[in-house]
Structure 1
Amino acid sequence: MTTILVTGGTGTLGRLVTERLRADGHEVRVLSRHAQPYAVDLRKGGAGLDAAVAGVHTIVHCASSPGGGDEEAAAHLIAAARRAGVRHLVYISIVGIDRVPFGYYRSKLAVEGLIEESGLGWTVLRATQFHDLLVRVFAILSKSPVMLLPARVKDQPVEVAEVADRLAQLALAAPAGRVADMGGPEVRTLDSLARAYLKATGRKRAVVNVPLWGKAYRGFRSGGHLTPERAVGKGTFEEYVGRIGGRGR
């Protein structure tokens, strides 16, 4: 039986990864800022982190914060993993972080670099955006009578449970470096995704596409965050919003 540590193990992705690994009979430790007995703020590191990684064979690093601190967190995690003799570090990243000049993406790319240079056995999986992220964004945007969307931008949302399955598989395999990207089954305009959300939640809103500016917007508009050649996901956005219905409001 392998001992595996899942960072961000109470989050949307980490919780599912933990469930799958435990179902396979593995000992899984959940690390997050508030989950005992391994309540650790990765941005600060410390003795609690060393205790969490002691005796661990594999780490699945799902913890992330768009608000900043990912690089510091990864540096602390890598240092603790090296001290503990961890054999394998698996990291979930995002498709297009090397093509779209967006602040959060730059941080994710920097973390990939730290992992590659860590001296640990490592695996990195890049995935497209999860369905639930789009739902959270649309819920905010639809609070107004007019739903404003960035013009000419597409997305390729993927089912988080499918990404969790893939991460669990990778965690139980040998270090593989950068593996093939994982994208959702369809490349869709934000307009069509927003209308599917509104229909599923019973909201009536005018949808208006607004041209924006800046390098990040141009990167998204050009599809740098998409991977149509790796549309391996099965679950569609309509299926997801159909399941959550009014809970997506």
Structure 2
Amino acid sequence: MTTILVTGGTGTLGRQVASRLRDSGADVRVLSRRSPSYAVDLRDGKGLDAAVEGVDAVVHCATAPGGGDDRAAGHLLTASKRAGVPHLVYISIVGVDRVPLGYYTVKHRVERMIEDSGLGWTVLRTTQFHDLVLRVLSPAARLPVLPVPAGVSVQPVDSGEVARRLAALALGGPAGRVPDMGGPEVRELTGLAAAYLRATGRKRRVVPVRLAGRAYAGFRSGGHLTPGRAVGTTTFEEFLSRRYRRPV
């Protein structure tokens, strides 16, 4: 039986990857700070050697937008090399090499660490998840108006579809940098905000707000988009309809 470790296996993406791997017959180890089986904080790496021992692949979904992904990846790579792990699969983001956002810069650094590790590796970059767009819009909608960054489009993709792709990659051999995975539509944030308001029955005026900085300029120029790889199938409205059980 194939044994696969999923880091961040209790998160939005990781738990879906673990579920799909189990459905494929794999023996899945779930690693996170809250995991009942492999409770590991990758920031210090304690307990990591036992988690990676004897696995056929690692799917690295754990991430901390507040910082430390490179330190966590260093611990994981060191332990994986000690254990002779043959394959590490990493989920990254479209545009990490084009948009000068701190979190993206660290994700890109982790990509290079994996490429230089000597391990067999696969890296999949995807666009933003529907869930992330929802997490941005939901708190903003508590205000009297709903502000969104002006002139920014996104290409949201369904996390379940990404999980299916990651599971398939983990069950195969190292493939290097595989083609990007984008959502089915490139949409302005103003339109997605309007769809969210319809789905939740709220009435707010959507207000585009111009921001400053190089990261904002990178998003406005579309550095995080991959329209040529619009391979996802679930639209944002379909995601909202499932979440709120009402037509959008």
Question: Is the pair's TM-score, using the shorter chain for normalization, greater than 0.5?
Answer: yes
Q: Helix, strand or coil for the counterpart of 1:45?
A: coil
- Structure 2 partner of 1:159: 158
Kindly indicate whether the alpha-carbon contact (under 8 Å) linking 2:10 and 2:34 is maintained by their aligned counterparts in 1: no
- Structure 1 partner of 2:147: 148
Deviations 1:27-79 (A, max 9, x none): 00000001122000001012x10000011110000000101110000000000
Kindly indicate whether the alpha-carbon contact (under 8 Å) linking 2:6 and 2:28 is maintained by their aligned counterparts in 1: yes
1:2 aligns with 2:2: yes
List alignment gaps of at least 5 residues for structure 1. none
Which residue type is aligned with residue 90 of structure 2?
Y
1:136 aligns with 2:135: yes
- Structure 2 partner of 1:82: 81
- 1:246 offset after TM fit, Å? 7.5
Q: Matches of residues 1-249 of structure 1 in structure 2 within 5 Å?
A: 1-46=1-46, 48-245=47-244
CA distance 1:80–1:8, change in 2 (3 Å): same
Kindly indicate whether the alpha-carbon contact (under 8 Å) linking 2:85 and 2:119 is maintained by their aligned counterparts in 1: yes
Deviations 1:109-142 (A, max 9, x none): 0000110000000000000000011111100110
C-alpha RMSD over aligned residues: 1.0
Q: Helix, strand or coil for the counterpart of 1:144?
A: coil
Mapped to 1, the partners of 2:221 and 2:103 lie a distance apart of 18
Deviations 1:122-164 (A, max 9, x none): 0000000000111111001101011111110000000000000
Which residue type is aligned with residue 76 of structure 2?
L
List alignment gaps of at least 5 residues for structure 2. none
Q: Helix, strand or coil for the counterpart of 2:16?
A: helix
Kindly indicate whether the alpha-carbon contact (under 8 Å) linking 1:90 and 1:124 is maintained by their aligned counterparts in 2: yes
Q: Helix, strand or coil for the counterpart of 2:125?
A: strand
Kindly indicate whether the alpha-carbon contact (under 8 Å) linking 1:202 and 1:246 is maintained by their aligned counterparts in 2: no
Q: Helix, strand or coil for the counterpart of 1:148?
A: strand
The TM-score, its normalising length taken from structure 2, stands at 0.98
Percentage of matched positions with identical amino acids: 67
Kindly indicate whether the alpha-carbon contact (under 8 Å) linking 2:180 and 2:229 is maintained by their aligned counterparts in 1: yes
Kindly indicate whether the alpha-carbon contact (under 8 Å) linking 1:50 and 1:80 is maintained by their aligned counterparts in 2: yes
